[in-house]
Structure 1
Amino acid sequence: MNAAATRYSPPRRQARGRPTASALFRRITLINGLVFTTGLTVLALSPATVSSPVLLTELPILAAGLALMLAANAYLLRRSLAPLSALTTLMERVDLLRPRTRIAQDGSGDLGAVIATFNAMLDRLEAERSASAAHALAVQEAERQRIARELHDEIGQSLTVVLLGLKRTLDRAPAELREELSTAQETVRASLDEVRRIARRLRPGVLEDLGLMAAMNQLAGELTDVSGVPVKRRFEPRLPGLGGEAELVIYRIAQEGLTNIARHARATAAELSLTAGDGTVLLRIADNGRGGPIEEGTGIRGMRERAMLIGADLTVDARPGHGTEVRLSVPLPAGEASS
């Protein structure tokens, strides 16, 4: 998406705002004029009379008439300005990471233009946010691939050379040094394995080479290897085609969710599922850990930004003592959804 195509244009919107304000002023003036004209007409045509000075018996009639006029005026103004309350509520809770929240236009008269302008503003802001996030995440993925290549090609090869050198030295070393050299050899081998594991996380080659299911299985296996938490897996064997971008988003969100389980959940079991139905593909990551209040830090915000890129819905539910559940609902492409 071209960010320049959705750039905010203040002069055009300001020019449209002035007629709307004038129309609202005319509407309020008309309502007040109508109420007072009606009250005056009723008073003129009714048999009631007002003395000068006003008699005590006439005060209830005047008070009742004034009360009716004020009540009618308040009712009409409340109905006319009711959309402003919904607009204020939406302004208070709007979040660009939770898009598609809009106010329904139900023929609100002059305020309908205000609502339409606000909805259009949200459309532009969400489009700009989506374009900016897409660019930032594309740069991030490119940087991850560069770092992964350097880890594999530079540091990995250097550690391999050191490992081979230690092996040759160990073969010729005296007996009293072999134990220390063997320890150093195992340390270098463990470091090499860690470098390769980090490179795989940065650049999911298995996703590119073997597909989404193999990549998800690898993520589940890594969680068990690193933290000892067993992962129950449920993958639908034949998922509809999602496209490379959507598969990468699913992979990264599953990766982040499983990483959070290993770091924070204190769980003894986890679930990872990927199923299809009702025009969507559903990713579910759950654990039986401590749960608790959700702190929307960098990890969860990054997940929401990725979900926004492909128009997916992300929900995170964490109940104290009952674990955490992450659900990502990815809409299928038009051709796949109809097939």
Structure 2
Amino acid sequence: MWGSGLRGRMAASYVLVTTTAVFLVEAVIAATFLIPQANASDLAAVLQEQASSDAQVIGLEVARLSVPGRVGDRPAVPDVPDVPDLPDLPGRAGAGDRELLRAAVAAAGRRTLAGGARPHAEPGLAMLETVVGVDGVILAASAPRIHPLGTELDVPLPPLGRENAGERRTTAGPAVWHVSPILRKEQVGPLGVEVIGYVHVQAPADAEVESAPSLAPMIVPTLLVLGLVLPVGLVFGLLSTRRLIGRLRRLAAVTTAVAAGDFRPRVEVSGSDEVSTLEQSFNVMTDRLGAAVESARLTARTEARQAERGRIARELHDSISQDLFSLSLLAAGMRRAAPEELRGQAEAMERASARAMREMRALLLELRPVALEDAGLLPALEELCRAYETRLGVRVEAALEEVALEAAAEHAVLRLVQEALGNAVKHAAPSRVEVRLGRGADGAVTVSVSDDGSGFDPADVAGRHGMGLTLMRERVTELGGRLDVRSDANGTTVTATLTGAGAAAGAVGRA
């Protein structure tokens, strides 16, 4: 359910992004085309643009027709290029400004509204246009029936060639109008130009410059696009997240197993993205966590064994040792009080109890835990030697060198020395024991325990010495080393040799 939920949310995010992109495109289109058109919907500005544009066009024709020999007796306009000769027109020669304006309007043709063109800015706008002389007489009109030629325009003309605008009432209702002057360059005069006429443009005051922009035509295409794009986005989202969701599900399954205490499963690392980094890191974390848990288990088992050894040592000391001590006292009293014929038996009982006490003390020292982790190998060996010397009265000489060993090897060396000392005290009755630790010329670490007690036959080790030597040999073999035992009537020497590789690769020995 978790994977399906994530997959659904990711697919929904694809759909949301697709929908947002479609609406953003529609918003950009609306802002680009509709808003600028709405900003251009001022009727007075449209009329001014129309009047000024047509006045300029007619003014250019006036300048062209004012070249000497073309119209009237007026001087030529400077900086006007030569134009081809025009055909003679009836009454053209000597014509005044009125004839010049009529000719200019005719020459402009359909480039002006008065010449018959429809409004160039606002299609469908009911716009009227007239061309009048400086005296206000109408010389040309787009609607002669409304503005008859030869009549005077009923709007005030601007002075000195300026523009003029306003509103007035007509038979059809209120109207807005604008007047722009038609200018001609002159060689004389304070302004350098001469006003020879005006262009008047008029439209109803309630005329709509353009229909209000509507988003309705864009709604249907938008819905169609969404109808096509949304399924594609949904399918793409589901397909593109399929592999990712599968990897996350596998990771979740392994996480569940690890949480339950099983550190064996691993996640298959695939790809080189962030999820693969997570998979690899999870595997590393699982390895370290498994190693830590195993180490904790080994530590717990070791501590449990140490606690059990301590418990056994306490019970032996509190019960059997006390009984042996009492037996020793009784044997000594019997030896002194017994008649001559029983004194030998009492002495034998006293020696047996003393020997049992000695072996019991050696066994207690063997069971006694040594703080190797806290003190280190050399201090632990020195403490062990002092304990045997103090508690059992055996002179123990230690010749120890500082050597670098792994924890498993140090533990095995300590247990080997402890086992060898215990065997010597219990079975050989030595007066002197020597413990040596050092590194040879070949780099191998050598540890030996020698005593001057009664020797034994190594071939009969199983019958006489139980499991002691067998356990020591197993410890050394696990570390890749070897154990040599030499014994004769002059004493016993137990030597263990650990190579560097064996010590490094060794496992934790038995406690």
Larger RCO, structures 1/2 (Cα 8 Å, 6+ apart): 1
Q: Which of 1 and 2 has greater Rg?
A: 2
Normalising by structure 2, report the TM-score: 0.28
Which structure has greater strand proportion?
A: 2
Normalising by structure 1, report the TM-score: 0.41
